[in-house]
């Protein structure tokens, strides 16, 4: 159970950290090889681009988990609390539908790439490995949105989830430290 709880709290964060380290190291290697040894490599830029794609799709579910999705909530601020909560839950159900449609079509793209056997130009890796980021990213977004809906319903009923308590503690700590 501890492993599942840790994964719930830190999975996307850990993958994103590893991907950013990978991008930094790969591009650093490319700079060293190009400018100091005058021997540019062909694969680092492609690998960095693919890691960046993975970063984008993992970031999507991470921002849902952290409740940091971009939003325009000017009108919602004027609504009564109960109406605002219902609106937020409705928006999350709409988001869930959108992520589900994108997940479905990402599976179609993934399947077509598996069948075609297409490989990347420099690394010669199957392109379905790159595009699997879409499937995984949208699946994780669906899971995180479902979690968020449950949390919002709990909040509407007057109970705080463990995740919300953790977020409030983080916000208090940031205020104390002046961040």
pLDDT of residue 1: 72
pLDDT of residue 115: 97
Kindly state the tokens that stand for 157.
């009923």
* Beta carbons within 10 angstroms of residue 56's beta carbon: 13
pLDDT of residue 77: 83
pLDDT of residue 47: 97
Kindly state the tokens that stand for 77.
């601020």
pLDDT of residue 177: 81
Taken in order 7, 11, 13, 18, is the CA torsion positive or negative?
positive
Question: What pLDDT, in 10s, does the model give residues 57-84?
Answer: 999 999 999 988 888 777 888 889 899 9
pTM: 0.85
Rounded average pLDDT per 10-residue block, the chain, 179 residues: 83 96 97 93 95 97 91 83 93 97 98 97 96 97 96 88 71 76
As a whole-number percent, the residues of the chain with pLDDT over 70 amount to 98
Kindly state the tokens that stand for 111.
């399947």
pLDDT of residue 166: 72
Domain residue ranges of the chain, discontinuous segments joined by +: 2-168
Contact of 142 with 99, CB cutoff 8 Å:
yes
Question: What pLDDT, in 10s, does the model give residues 152-176?
Answer: 999 999 887 776 677 777 777 777 8
Surface-to-core class of residue 131, CB atoms within 10 Å of its CB (0-12 exposed, 13-18 middle, 19+ buried): buried
As a whole number of angstroms, the distance between CA 163 and CA 170 comes to 11
Geometric angle at alpha carbon 93, from 88 and 97, rounded to 5°: 145
């Amino acid at each position: 159970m501890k492993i599942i709880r840790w994964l719930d709290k830190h999975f996307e964060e850990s993958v994103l950290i590893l991907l950013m380290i990978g991008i930094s190291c790969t591009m650093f290697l490319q700079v060293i090889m190009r400018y100091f040894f005058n021997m540019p490599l062909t694969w680092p830029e492609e690998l960095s681009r693919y890691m960046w794609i993975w970063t984008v799709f993992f970031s999507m579910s991470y921002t849902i988990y952290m409740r940091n999705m971009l939003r325009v909530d000017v009108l919602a601020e004027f609504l009564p609390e109960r109406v605002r909560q219902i609106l937020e839950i409705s928006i999350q159900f709409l988001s869930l539908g959108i992520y589900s449609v994108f997940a479905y079509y990402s599976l179609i793209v993934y399947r077509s790439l598996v069948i075609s056997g297409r490989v990347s130009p420099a690394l010669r890796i199957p392109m379905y490995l790159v595009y699997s980021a879409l499937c995984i990213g949208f699946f994780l977004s669906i899971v995180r949105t479902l979690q968020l809906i449950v949390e919002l319903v709990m909040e509407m009923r007057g109970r705080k989830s463990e995740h919300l308590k953790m977020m409030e503690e983080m916000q208090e700590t940031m205020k104390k430290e002046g961040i």
